[in-house]
Structure 1
């Protein structure tokens, strides 16, 4: 069994209130969970207006499979949402 996690830190371009930020982050979380069947949650900077941190984890049989899923999730997030990813940390177990 392989468990790989990723912490994604990003800035939201068009966020002028917590309501704007939360709508983007909640949409991101629900859409990615449904599409890729991953565990995903907002884990830090909940009270910052234009910054967010989400944690993503994948469980699978092979490292390559898990890394591929995380790469696809990252691509989908960057293509779909008006955000700037400034830090990515991966953790393997």
Structure 2
């Protein structure tokens, strides 16, 4: 079994209120959960209107598959949202 996590910290450009931020964060997390079957959560920067810290986790018997799922999420965030990615940390935990 392989357990991987991806942690990203983003600045959301089109966010001027917590409501705007939540809309973007919810979109990212919902897509990841529903379409890719990963666990996903916001883990920091809760009160900042244009910053978010997100984490995604996946478990699989296939090492390459686990990493590729998380790379898909990262690529989607980069290509489909008006954000700047400050930090990216991909870790294999088990």
Report the TM-score range of the alignment, normalised by the length of the smaller protein.
over 0.9
CA-based RMSD of the aligned residues comes to 0.9
1:80 is displaced (CA, Å) by 1.5
Q: 1:69-92, CA deviations, whole angstroms, 9 ceiling, x for partnerless residues?
A: 111111112111111111011221
Structure 1's unaligned 5+ residue stretches are none
Q: Distance in 2 between matches of 1:73 and 1:18?
A: 23
- Partner residue of 2:20? 20
Normalization by structure 1: what TM-score?
Answer: 0.94
1:61 and 1:30 mapped to 2: Cα distance? 24
Is residue 72 of structure 1 aligned with residue 69 of structure 2? no
TM-score w.r.t. the length of structure 2 is: 0.93
Cα deviation code 1:4-53 (max 9, x no counterpart): 00111000001111111011101111112111111000010011011000
Partners of 1:6 and 1:83 in 2: CA distance: 17
Question: Which residue of 2 is the match for residue 30 of structure 1?
Answer: 30
